[in-house]
Structure formats: structure tokens, C-alpha cells
Amino acid sequence: MALTKADIAEQLFQEVGLTKREAKEIVELYFHQLSAALESGQQVKLSGFGNFELHDKNERPGRNPKTGEEIPVSARRVVTFRSGQKLRARVEKYAGKEAQKPHGEE
């Protein structure tokens, strides 16, 4: 199951008491600000969650898997996400609980 922007807006509506329209606008504004910061070359740090970082990749040789033909992969800028310690700890704690369940139990 994936978490969507609509799911986040619904949570704001139910738990914070915003109208559905206000909740949707806040979620859209949040992601617009995050995108705008990355587009302008800024790193985005979310305390307790993680960092979105920009990396410039150089041009490199690639290969068409069907034909084996060499094709250059152009230089580009990519966004990476590195989770913070708090998020990693919560994920590991959850993964540990899942690993302890006997087979067939959900």
C-alpha cells in the first residue's frame, strides 16, 4: 500500500480539523516548496525524517540490453534521499517486530 497526498490531506482533515480544501492546499503547498527548493539547487533537511540531496552525475558509457550497443548516458542531476537516525530506528524497530512473527500470522 502506498501513502498518497490525498491520504495525508485526509489525515489533516480528520485529526487537525481543517476543511478538506484547506488540508489539500497545505499538502500541495508543502510539496511545491520542497520541489522548488530542490529545483533551485538547495538541499532539503527534514528534522527527524531525513535529507533530500542533489547529486550531479557525469556522462558515462551505457549499453542497450536488447542489442548490446554502447550508448552514452548523458550527465544529469539526481535527487537522493538519506533517512535520518530517528526514521531509521523506527523502521528497524518495525522490521524487527515483523521478523519475530511466526509464519502464517499477520
The cell for 64 is 542497450
When pLDDT is averaged across residues 22-40 and rounded to a whole number, the result is: 97
Res 98 pLDDT > 80: no
Phi-psi region of 48 (alpha: psi -120 to 50; beta: other; left: phi over 0): left
Flag whether pLDDT at 10 surpasses 70.
Answer: yes
Listed in sequence order, the residues at least 6 apart from 17 whose beta carbon sits closer than 8 Å to its beta carbon are none
The single-letter DSSP state of residue 34 is H
Q: What is the distance, to the nearest Å, from the Cα of residue 106 to the centroid of all Cα atoms in its chain?
A: 26
Tell the residue number behind the cell numbers 537522493, with chain if given: 80
Q: Give pLDDT, residue 102.
A: 55
Asked whether the predicted pLDDT for residue 96 surpasses 90, the reply is no
